[in-house]
Amino acid sequence: QVQLVQSGAEVKKPGSSVKVSCKTSGGTFSSHAINWVRQAPGQGLEWLGGIVPLFGTTKYALKFQGRVTISADESASTAYMELTSLTSDDTAVYYCARDRYSDSSDNYFESQYWGQGTLVTVSS
């Protein structure tokens, strides 16, 4: 049984940074991509980027390039997402999600397993 457990809610000041963790258990950590998706209040799903821990390769949505860093610690089976230069527009629930399938490349596939979400509130 694959499970993803995220770190707790955060309240941040504008201009600061936030780092959210996603610890996985069960299954194979390294070979499956882990993606980060956010959802602003009342809005849809938005992809920030992802990582395949086996290769250490990352991909980022154009909108977030330069502001987001995704990393992984294989020894801890944990992925991280750091977002900098926060504004109120970054207030959202941030989800990590693990692919159902891996073809041992840096392709991303459908997300079968999701974390519980981490609410990040940006407010002065």
Partner 1 sequence: IVLTQSPGTLSLSPGERATLSCRASQSVDRNFLAWYQQKPGRAPRLLIYATFKRAIDIPDRFSGSGSGTDFTLTISRLEPEDFAVYYCQRYGSSLTFGGGTKVEIK
Q: Contact positions toward partner 1, by CB under 8 A?
A: 35, 37, 44-47, 50, 59, 61, 95, 97, 100, 107-112, 114-117
Which of 19/100 has CB closer to partner 1?
100
Cβ 85 to partner 1 shortest distance, Å: 22
Name the nearest CA neighbour of 112 among 43, 33, 7: 33
- CA–CA separation, 101 vs 35, rounded Å? 13
Helix (H) or strand (E) holding 38: strand 34-39
Cβ 29 to partner 1 shortest distance, Å: 19
Sign of CA dihedral 85, 44, 8, 65: negative
Which of 89/110 has CB closer to partner 1?
110
Which of 43/124 has CB closer to partner 1?
43
